[in-house]
């Protein structure tokens, strides 16, 4: 029998959740995602030191060789370019998390990242600009999508975030699974079956609701703690999976059942678009989503600062 990864790929686009170029080359996923945490790991890895040199050169070519923020953006883009050499699909490149509550700055950062990719000769249609699914991040995505720049709205923990992003025309959203599970377990929830996993339940609800409303945004489940969570979402549009879990699926030759199908969703026509007041209240009224969105932004911001420190150290050493 074929492996569970092969069975999964019949229904779901597999995305590698790593910035490790060697692992991407070995795993051969369709797409890949990066974030400040993954970029920081790559920047600290001597195997990828050459990317730091390329980033500094790219920033200089753009006239900003002494600007640390430009160097960080350039590093994200040269890494993304290197990733694209190993995959046929898309790579996500994330906006500085410290801009999560500034729509205008997020738009400008997205445009800058695309300009850097174009300088590298990369087709912008292969890039997803990634931003946190705050209200401001979603409005920035609306503007960027209207300009033909594709977006991935991440740190999705509530259905209202997913709906607002889809209604804004985001190409893709990343609802998280494992972090939702972790939060509820910490609150004392006992999970005896995968169908009781609140992270799995969240992605299933988002998938079904977007399909029912005819919203074309791609749903990409993220943040998995185990293979069972992935298997429970077989059939989701995309799933971004760590190398360790991709290997586990490739080595498991058991039977995999498809759990999500858009053809089985009953259309829903009587619905109202999400507005800012409803969005903000829903997050305020959802302790889990509020906690995890804030925590995710803080973590990515901390890793962005660490990446800047790493690049500044390299500049001094050079």
Would you name the residues annotated as active-site residues? 130
166 vs 112: CA distance, rounded Å: 24
Q: Given its phi and psi angles, is residue 279 left (phi above 0), alpha (psi -120 to 50 degrees) or beta? A: alpha
CA 255 to chain centre: 28
CA-closest candidate to residue 22, choices 77, 86, 91, 84: 86
Q: How far apart are the first and last CA of the chain?
A: 53
For the record, the structure tokens of 129 come out as 């600009």
Q: Does residue 130 sit in helix, strand or coil?
A: strand
Residues 3, 249: contact at Cβ < 8 Å?
Answer: yes
- C-alpha 228/C-alpha 216 separation (Å) is 27
Q: Is 14:241 a contact under the CB 8 Å cutoff?
A: yes
Whether the Cβ atoms of residue 230 and residue 8 lie closer than 8 Å to each other: yes
Q: Residue 233 to residues 14, 139, 155, 199: CA-CA distances in angstroms?
A: 12, 28, 18, 10
Residue 14 phi, psi dihedral angles, 5° rounding: -90, 130
Structure tokens at 201: 């339940």
Residues 6 or more apart whose Cβ sits within 8 Å of residue 187? none
């Amino acid at each position: 029998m074929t492996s569970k990864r092969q069975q999964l790929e019949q229904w779901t686009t597999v995305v590698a959740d790593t910035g490790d170029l060697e692992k991407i080359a070995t795993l051969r996923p369709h797409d890949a995602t990066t974030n400040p945490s993954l970029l920081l790991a790559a920047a600290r890895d001597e195997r990828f030191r050459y990317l730091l040199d390329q980033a500094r050169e790219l920033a200089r070519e753009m006239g900003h060789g002494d600007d640390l923020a430009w160097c960080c953006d350039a590093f994200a883009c040269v890494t993304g370019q290197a990733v694209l050499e190993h995959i046929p699909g898309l790579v996500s490149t994330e906006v500085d998390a410290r801009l999560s509550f500034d729509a205008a700055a997020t738009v400008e950062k997205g445009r800058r990242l695309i300009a850097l990719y174009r300088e590298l000769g990369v087709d912008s249609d292969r890039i997803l600009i990634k931003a946190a699914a705050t209200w401001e991040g979603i409005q920035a995505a609306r503007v960027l999508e209207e300009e033909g720049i594709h977006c991935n709205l991440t740190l999705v923990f509530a259905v209202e975030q997913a709906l607002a992003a889809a209604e804004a025309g985001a190409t893709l959203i990343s609802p998280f699974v494992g972090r939702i599970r972790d939060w509820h377990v910490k609150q004392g929830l006992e999970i005896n079956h995968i169908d009781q996993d609140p992270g799995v339940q969240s992605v299933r609800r988002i998938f079904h609701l977007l399909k029912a409303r005819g919203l074309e945004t791609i749903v990409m489940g993220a943040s998995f703690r185990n293979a069972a969570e992935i298997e429970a979402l077989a059939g989701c549009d995309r799933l971004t999976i760590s190398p360790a879990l991709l290997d586990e699926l490739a080595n498991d030759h058991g039977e995999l059942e498809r759990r999500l199908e858009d053809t089985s969703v009953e259309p829903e026509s009587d619905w109202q678009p999400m507005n800012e007041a409803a969005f903000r209240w829903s997050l305020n009224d959802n302790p889990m989503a509020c906690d995890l969105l804030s925590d995710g932004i803080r973590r990515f911001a901390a890793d962005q600062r660490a990446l800047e420190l790493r690049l500044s150290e390299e500049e001094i050493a050079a």
